[in-house]
Amino acid sequence: MLRVPCPNCGAEVLFRSPALPSRVCDYCQTIVVRRGQSVEAVGKAAVLPFDVSPIQIGTRGRFDGQGFEVIGRVRWGWTDGSWNEWLLLFDDGRDGWLGEAMGQLMLLKERALGDMRSNAINALADGKPIEVGMEAVLDGEMMMVADAREATCIAAEGELPFPAPVGLTIFSVDFRSPSGACASLQREGEMPTLFAGRYVTFDDIAATGLRVIEGWRVPAFGG
């Protein structure tokens, strides 16, 4: 746990885990990177556009028997919309992502690329087009491409495993399965990264600490 003043505006900035060396200052949107015990400013993140997402930094939940806290967010935009990816810090120190798009939540953890067998991986590496319906096998389960799109990071906040990649363009491929398991392949440079998990609801993850939105009653999830 490291608390330091923001090198730009002096407001207190918190780093929770050595594995997450970057964060966006909540007050001036400066991207601050931690190097050992010192920090440095490496640019500015865009101000997040207004949205009615109920998830916020500090939201807590449980997944596969482990508790987690939402500590960061990256907002991606594509030609026909945008979505949030929330960084989760689990109680055991590992991290994961909660993708939030069109009211649907994908809880994903990074996996080794070799865990998935699919023509889509080769196509992605070769720069060939990915077709909707392409198949993949992961953990013995059959999955299909549900969509494939190019996206640009438009804003970020909180703590992140990398400096806020505002302006970075990636290619993202989402997979779906009959059981609700899902996966996401994201390629920015040479090699794609694989994330896998499943679709969840706020009830499934017993979400607490959700943002209160005026005029809407916040349900108590998880029973």
Partner 1 sequence: MATAPAPAAEEIAPATKALSCPNCGGTVTLRAAGYTVTVACQYCGSLLDVANPDVRLIKKYKEAVQELEIPLGTRGTLRGVEWEAIGYMRRSEGGAYPWEEYLLFNPYHGYRWLIANRGGWSFGEQLTRTPDWAGHTIALDGQNYDPFFANGRAQVDYVVGEFYWRVKVGESVATDDYVRPGFMLSREANNEEISWSLSEWMPPKEVGKAFGISALVQPWPPLPHQPSPHGRAVKTAAKIGFGMLALMLLAMFVFGSSASLFRGSLPVTLDGTPQSATVGPIALNRSWQIVNVSARSPELENGWIDIDYTLVNRETQVAYQAYGVAERYSGSDSDGPWTEGDRGATVKVASVPAGTYDLVVEYTGNRWGGAGYYARSEARSIDLQVRRGGVFISNFILAALFILAPLIFIAIRHMGFESARRGESDFASSGSDDD
C-alpha span between 90 and 95 (Å, rounded): 6
97: number of Cβ within 10 Å: 22
Nearer to partner 1, 127 or 216 (CB): 216
102 or 112: whose CB is closer to partner 1?
Answer: 102
CB 29 within 8 Å of CB 8: no
Q: CA–CA separation, 191 vs 175, rounded Å?
A: 18
Q: Name which of residues 182 to 221 contact partner 1 (CB under 8 A).
A: 182, 199, 202, 208, 210-221
145 sits in which H/E element: strand 141-160
Contact 30, 43 (CB under 8 A): yes
The residues in 85-114 that bind partner 1, with binding defined as CB under 8 A, are 101-104, 106
Q: What is the 3-state secondary structure (H, E, C) of 60-94?
A: EEEECCEEEEEEEEEEEEECCEEEEEEEEEECCCC
| Alpha carbons 82 and 75: distance in angstroms, whole number | 7
For residue 13, the minimal CB distance to partner 1 (Å) is: 21
**What x/- string results for residues 142 through 181 when contact with partner 1 is judged by CB under 8 A?**
--x-xx----------------------------xxxxx-
Q: Does 49 bind partner 1 (CB under 8 A)?
A: yes
For residue 82, the minimal CB distance to partner 1 (Å) is 7
Binding-site member from 10, 81, 93, 167 for partner 1 (CB under 8 A): 81
Among 5-13, 48-56, 66-74, 159-167, the segment contacting partner 1 (CB under 8 A): 48-56
Using CB under 8 A as the criterion, which residues of the chain lie in contact with partner 1 when the complex forms? 49-54, 77, 79-82, 84, 101-104, 106, 132-133, 144, 146-147, 176-180, 182, 199, 202, 208, 210-221
